[in-house]
Structure 1
Amino acid sequence: MWRVRRPQALSNQPGPPFNAPAARRLRAALGMGPEHVAHDMRASYGLPYVSPDLVVAWERGALTPTSPELTALAGVLWCSPGELIGHPRTLREHRIARGLAPEDVARTVGLELLAYMRMEETDDWRGTDRQSSALAGLLDLSLPDFVTVTGRNPKLAELLRGAVTTRWQAYVRPVGKMLPLDRRLLEDTLQELHQDYQGRMVATLSWGGGGEGSDASGRDFLDRILDLFWIRVSDRSPDGV
Structure 2
Amino acid sequence: MCRVSPPPPFDALAARRLREALGMTHAHVAHGMWAAYGLRVAPGTVAAWERGEAVPSAGELPALAGALWCAPGELLAAPTTLREHRLARGLADADVARRIGMDLASYRRAERTGDWPGDERQEALLGEVLELRPAELFRLTGRAERLARLLHGAVTTRWQAYSRPVAALVAMDRERTDTALERLHGGYQARMVASLSWGEGGGATAAQDAGRRFLAELVDRFWAELPP
| TM-score > 0.5, shorter chain as reference | yes
Deviation of residue 185 (structure 1)?
A: 0.9
Q: 1:223 to 1:120 in 2, by over 3 A?
A: same
Deviation of residue 52 (structure 1)?
A: 4.7
Deviation of residue 221 (structure 1)?
A: 0.8
TM alignment of 1:159-174, pairs within 5 A: 159-174=150-165
Quote the Cα distance in structure 2 between the aligned partners of 1:192 and 1:112. 41
Quote the Cα distance in structure 2 between the aligned partners of 1:99 and 1:39. 24
State the TM-score, normalizing by the size of structure 2.
0.77
The unaligned stretches of length 5 or more in structure 2 are 34-39
**Partner amino acid, structure 2, of 1:101:** A
Quote the Cα distance in structure 2 between the aligned partners of 1:97 and 1:138. 12
Structure number with higher relative contact order (C-alpha < 8 Å, ≥ 6 residues apart) = 1
Quote the Cα distance in structure 1 between the aligned partners of 2:13 and 2:197. 42
**Partner amino acid, structure 2, of 1:134:** L
TM alignment of 1:11-22, pairs within 5 A: 12=4, 15-20=7-12, 22=14
User: Are 2:49 and 2:55, in contact at CA under 8 Å, matched by a contact in 1?
Assistant: no
Runs of 4+ in 1 over 6 A off after TM superposition: 27-30, 75-78
**Partner amino acid, structure 2, of 1:158:** R
Structure 1 range deviating more: 174-183 or 90-99: 90-99
Between the aligned residues of both structures, percent identity stands at: 44
User: Are 1:15 and 1:96, in contact at CA under 8 Å, matched by a contact in 2?
Assistant: no
Quote the Cα distance in structure 2 between the aligned partners of 1:137 and 1:76. 27
Equivalent position of 2:101 in the other structure: 110
Deviations 1:198-220 (A, max 9, x none): 11221233245465333312111
Q: Give the number of equivalent residue pairs.
A: 216
For residue 41 of structure 2, the aligned residue among 22, 40, 47 is 47
Deviations 1:125-181 (A, max 9, x none): 011122222222322222112101111111111111111111111111111111022
Q: 1:27 to 1:149 in 2, by over 3 A?
A: same
Equivalent position of 1:225 in the other structure: 218
Quote the Cα distance in structure 1 between the aligned partners of 2:215 and 2:187. 11
Quote the Cα distance in structure 1 between the aligned partners of 2:190 and 2:124. 38
User: Are 2:155 and 2:189, in contact at CA under 8 Å, matched by a contact in 1?
Assistant: yes
**Partner amino acid, structure 2, of 1:66:** S
**Partner amino acid, structure 2, of 1:57:** G
Provide the alpha-carbon RMSD of the alignment: 3.2
TM alignment of 1:1-241, pairs within 5 A: 12=4, 15-20=7-12, 22-23=14-15, 26=17, 41-42=29-30, 45=33, 46-48=40-42, 50=45, 52-57=47-52, 64-67=55-58, 69-70=60-61, 81-207=72-198, 209=200, 212-233=205-226, 236-237=227-228
Quote the Cα distance in structure 1 between the aligned partners of 2:162 and 2:116. 24
Deviations 1:46-69 (A, max 9, x none): 4215165543226xxxx5433454
Aligned partner of residue 50 in structure 1, secondary structure: helix
Deviations 1:11-33 (A, max 9, x none): x4655443456457x37986x9x
State the TM-score, normalizing by the size of structure 1.
0.73
User: Are 1:164 and 1:190, in contact at CA under 8 Å, matched by a contact in 2?
Assistant: yes
